[in-house]
């Protein structure tokens, strides 16, 4: 089982971003790192200049580096961002099919979780066009994942699932961080940078529910499949995606690595993550429950 570190979804300060990836390069048992801006094109200029250096350092540390394309593309300058990605010389993760227009014919690419891959027809089409690795949408149940993993791996593509971190549930033209601050997206003043893991949205009965991150809406719970790696492996999945948060992601990656290698039990792995967690609210319901928010301990003895 491979481990992929997904793109940073939040607006962190550039020096934090640099430190974060330096530590990933040096210490995290991660096979593949997806770098770049998926959520909001306005954030990219703050750290764009750092990406080549970060990418090089990760590559020297033996990580496969993939550059992420933007998730919702509407503006001319956002389309230009996509054309820049192709020229950077790394593999590209398609997060919106707009990117397909910028890939060279027969250029290999990977597919991120915001692209709707729900069935074998879509899988076949993407693989025929050069997709070598596909992260499935987070809302799929394990039975569907098994069908797609079997089909995809036979056709030569790696199949990845969302295994750790707040779930990306929606993307909008509207910036909710700006709206809360009484501003519009165009005059947001980057209020989203105050929330390193997004801003929690609670119900009127104080239930933890969602989190906003600019134009993105996430789950408040962190998806956490560390207790389910055997079931996911059994479904034929080849890679797990861990999504960066402000907590110790090296520890998260090490725990997943140990769980995947069978060095610790599901119960031990869960305890190790919960012990150091900023937020101990987890979910694995899209894969194993009735609703996405459900949390069950399927494999703890």
Q: Examine residue 278 and tell whether it contacts another protein (CB under 8 A).
A: no
Number of residues assigned to the chain:
301
Instruction: Kindly calculate the radius of gyration of the chain based on its CA atoms and give it in whole angstroms.
Output: 18
Out of 26, 53, 56, 118, which residue is the one contacting another protein (CB under 8 A)? Answer: 118
Q: Is 138 in the site for another protein (CB under 8 A)?
A: yes
Query: By three-state DSSP, how is residue 135 classified?
Result: strand
In this chain, which of 18, 172, 279, 296 binds another protein, going by CB under 8 A?
Answer: 172
Identify which range of 51-59, 165-173, 228-236, 269-277 contacts another protein by CB under 8 A. Answer: 165-173
Choices 4-12, 124-132, 226-234, 253-261; region in contact with another protein by CB under 8 A: 124-132
Per CB under 8 A, the segment of 35-43, 163-171, 254-262, 268-276 that binds another protein is 163-171
C-alpha span between 33 and 59 (Å, rounded)? 9
Structure-token pair, residue 179: 């709206």
CA dist., res. 269 & res. 144, Å (int): 25
Q: For residues 45 and 23, what is the distance between their CA atoms, to the nearest angstrom?
A: 22
- Interactions with another protein, residue window 183-212 (CB under 8 A): 184-186, 199-205, 207, 209-210, 212
Distance CA 54, CA 26 (A): 12
| For another protein, the closer CB: 188 or 272 | 188
Residue 32 is encoded by which pair of tokens? 């593949």
Indicate which single residue of 2, 18, 120, 298 sits in contact with another protein (rule: CB under 8 A).
120
Q: How many CA atoms lie within 13 A of 104 on its CB side?
A: 9
Q: With binding defined as CB under 8 A, does residue 104 bind another protein?
A: no
Q: Is 236 in the site for another protein (CB under 8 A)?
A: no
Do 223 and 138 contact (CB within 8 A), yes or no?
yes
Using rule CB under 8 A, residue 86 touches another protein: no
Nearer residue to another protein within complex by CB, 214 or 266: 214
C-alpha distances (whole Å) from 114 to each of 92, 171, 237, 278, 281 are: 14, 9, 18, 26, 23
Dihedral of alpha carbons 217, 285, 134, 258, sign: positive
What is the closest distance, in whole angstroms, from the C-beta atom of residue 289 to another protein in the complex? 8
Q: Which residue stretch of 9-17, 147-155, 241-249, 268-276 sits at the interface with another protein (rule: CB under 8 A)?
A: 147-155
Q: What angle do CA 10, 16, 17 make, to 5 degrees?
A: 60
Question: Is residue 81 involved in binding another protein (CB under 8 A)?
Answer: no
Neighbours of 291 (CB within 10 A): 8
Name which position in 2, 18, 132, 147 contacts another protein (CB under 8 A): 147
> Taking CB under 8 A as the rule, does residue 114 contact another protein?
yes
Question: How far are the Cα atoms of 16, 67, 76, 216 from residue 207, in angstroms, in the given order?
Answer: 31, 36, 40, 20
Q: Does 96 bind another protein (CB under 8 A)?
A: yes
Contacts to another protein by CB under 8 A? 71-75, 78-79, 82, 96-98, 100-102, 114, 116, 118-126, 137-139, 144, 147-148, 151, 167, 169-176, 178-180, 184-186, 199-205, 207, 209-210, 212, 217, 219, 285-286, 289-293
């Amino acid at each position: 089982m491979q481990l992929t570190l997904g793109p940073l979804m939040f607006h962190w300060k550039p020096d934090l971003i640099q430190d974060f990836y330096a530590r990933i390069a040096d210490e995290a048992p991660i096979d593949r790192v997806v770098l770049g801006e998926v959520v909001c094109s306005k954030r990219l200029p703050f750290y764009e200049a750092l990406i080549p250096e970060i990418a090089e350092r990760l590559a020297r540390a033996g990580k496969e580096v993939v550059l992420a394309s933007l998730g919702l593309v509407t503006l001319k300058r956002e389309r230009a961002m996509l054309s820049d990605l192709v020229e950077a010389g790394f593999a590209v993760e398609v997060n919106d099919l707009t990117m397909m227009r910028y890939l060279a014919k027969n250029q290999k690419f990977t597919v991120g979780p915001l692209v709707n891959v729900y069935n074998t027809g879509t899988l076949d089409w993407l693989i025929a066009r050069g997709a070598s690795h596909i992260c499935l949408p987070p809302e799929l149940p394990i039975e569907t994942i098994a069908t797609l993993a079997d089909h995809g791996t036979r056709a030569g593509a790696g199949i990845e699932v969302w295994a750790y971190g707040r779930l990306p549930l929606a993307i909008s033209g509207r910036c909710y961080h700006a709206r809360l601050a009484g501003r519009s997206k165009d005059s947001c003043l980057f209020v989203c940078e105050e929330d390193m893991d997004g801003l929690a949205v609670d119900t009127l009965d104080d239930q933890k529910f969602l989190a906003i991150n600019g134009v993105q809406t996430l789950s408040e719970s962190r998806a956490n499949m560390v207790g389910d790696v055997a079931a996911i492996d059994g479904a034929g999945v080849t890679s797990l995606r861990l999504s960066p948060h402000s907590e110790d992601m090296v520890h998260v990656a090490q725990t997943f690595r140990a769980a995947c290698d069978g060095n610790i039990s599901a119960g031990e792995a869960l305890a190790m993550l919960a012990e150091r967690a900023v937020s101990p609210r987890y979910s694995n319901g899209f894969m194993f429950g009735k609703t996405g928010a459900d949390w069950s301990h399927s494999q703890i003895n």
